[in-house]
Amino acid sequence: MKLPRPILLVCGTLTLSACAGLAGFFASQQDSIKIPHARHTKAGVECITCHETIFDSTTLDTHDFPKEKVCLQCHAEEKNKGNCGFCHTNPEKPATVATRVRELKLNHATHLERNEDCSGCHQVLPEPLHTAAMVPTMASCLGCHVHAAQFTAGKCEVCHNDLTKYPLKPISDFTHRGDYLRDHRLDARAAGAACETCHDQKFCSECHAKTEGLRLDVVLAERVDRSFIHRNDFFSRHPTEARADEASCLRCHGVESCTSCHARSGLTPGSKNTLEPHPAGFGEGAMHGPAARRDIVQCAACHDQGAASTCVGCHRVGGVGGSPHPASFLVRHRKEEISRNAMCQICHL
């Protein structure tokens, strides 16, 4: 049975409202202290009267809210009457102030040494039933000349303990726009410390770790907005991608990665159910010689078995294949190297 769209909309709205109501109900059950800051200020109560300890507070990790005895200096009568609801939103279950991990470094003591006017930063103070956080904005921090210079210089750690939890993108200097998957190498090479301001090593290792067991595009399949190199059917077109930019593959995958997978696929010499990927006659020097000169990484992707490599049999000294070295190789490498290099000795017995 198909329900009319208006009925579906009404049902959906009611369901959402019920969920929101339930969430609000449970939230409202948690106790908090009702402090009408505006009324206190109007009565001429100075900040220091209640927040005395803040003048000695050097970090945000300590509890600097007034203790109950401070409130009772003026409001003892209400407690004596048993009117706990005068201050507590849920007097049935009065709670203590929860410990919170502070992500900011802030020394109230040194700030107050310079200026005892709290309203310079705390321009809006919490009122009862106002659930939104009333902490000073970052803009008010940057209103001070010293902080503005630090912000410009990107010295975030002066104030922030940890930026990795924030969805910040430093758009002024590192925009992350365009094909940043490809272009980020330029920034990471020459300004890696700037990357670490926001990204920890886990972020890099998700893509770069040689030890990772599963591709990121499988783990994060829902992130269709992100660019992943190996997404969907990369497998069938990877030979084309590799030929277009062999160095790009080898930055993350050693040639062992190619040969181990090609062995499982039956492409390497001696593998089970060996396939023949080469065209007929490829063994002739006229065919495979120029291909190897042009694209040696492709050869290595299947044939790199060290001393047992296919090429050794024909190209070793005295073999029918002759010397495989390009002219430029002989210019840079002297014969004396042979005795010091085990790899050379595979052919130069």
Partner 1 sequence: MGGAWAAEVSVYSTAVIGGRPDVVDGEVKTVATLYALVGVRATRLELKGFDDLSIAVDAWGGAVSAGAGSDVNLAYVEGRTLQKRLRLRLGRQFVTGGVARAMFFDGLFADFRTGVGLGLSAFAGIPVERRFANFLRGDFVVGTRAYFAPVYGTEVGLSFIHMLQRGALSRQDAGFDARWRPLRSLTLAGALVWSVSEARLAEVDVGPLWTPVDSVEVRLGYRRTAPELFLSRTSIFTVFADTERDDAGVAVTWQLARAVSLFGDVRALWLAGQTGFETSARIAVKAFTATTLTAQFHRLEIPSNGYHQARVGARHVLPSGVALAVDLETYVLDRPVRGQTVSFSASTTATWAINRSWLVGATLFAATTPTFESRYEAIAKLSWLL
Residue from 247, 280, 320, 349 binding partner 1 (CB under 8 A): 247
CB of 24 to partner 1, least distance (A): 14
Q: Does 216 bind partner 1 (CB under 8 A)?
A: no
Residue from 21, 128, 143, 254 binding partner 1 (CB under 8 A): 254
> Which CB sits closer to partner 1, 244 or 320?
244
> Which CB sits closer to partner 1, 112 or 250?
250
CB of 33 to partner 1, least distance (A): 25
Q: Which stretch binds partner 1 (CB under 8 A): 33-41, 121-129, 138-146, 247-255?
A: 247-255
Residue labelled with tokens 């109230």: 108
Residue from 2, 5, 100, 294 binding partner 1 (CB under 8 A): 294
- Write out the two tokens for 71: 């409130």
Q: Are 107 and 158 in contact (CB under 8 A)?
A: no
- Which element (helix H / strand E) includes 218? helix 216-219
> Which CB sits closer to partner 1, 78 or 241?
241
> How many other C-beta atoms lie within 10 A of the C-beta of residue 88?
16
- Exposure letters 116-131 (e unless 16+ CB within 10 A, then b): eebeebeeebbeeeee
Q: Does 189 bind partner 1 (CB under 8 A)?
A: yes
What SS3 state is found at 114?
helix
Site for partner 1 in 93-112 (CB under 8 A): 101
Count of residues that interact with partner 1, criterion CB under 8 A: 102
Gyration radius (Cα) of the chain, Å: 35
Q: Does 334 bind partner 1 (CB under 8 A)?
A: no
Q: Closest by alpha carbon to 99, among 127, 67, 60?
A: 60
d(CA 109, CA 115): 10
CA-CA-CA-CA dihedral for 46, 50, 53, 56, to nearest 10: -10
Q: Are 102 and 61 in contact (CB under 8 A)?
A: yes
Residue from 94, 154, 285, 319 binding partner 1 (CB under 8 A): 154
> Which CB sits closer to partner 1, 108 or 303?
303
d(CA 138, CA 44): 29
Residue from 24, 192, 283, 322 binding partner 1 (CB under 8 A): 192
CB of 11 to partner 1, least distance (A): 14
Q: Does 89 bind partner 1 (CB under 8 A)?
A: no
Each residue 169-188 as x (binds partner 1 by CB under 8 A) or -, in order, gives ----xxx-xxx---x-xxxx
Tell me phi and psi for residue 209, to 5 degrees.
Answer: -60, 125
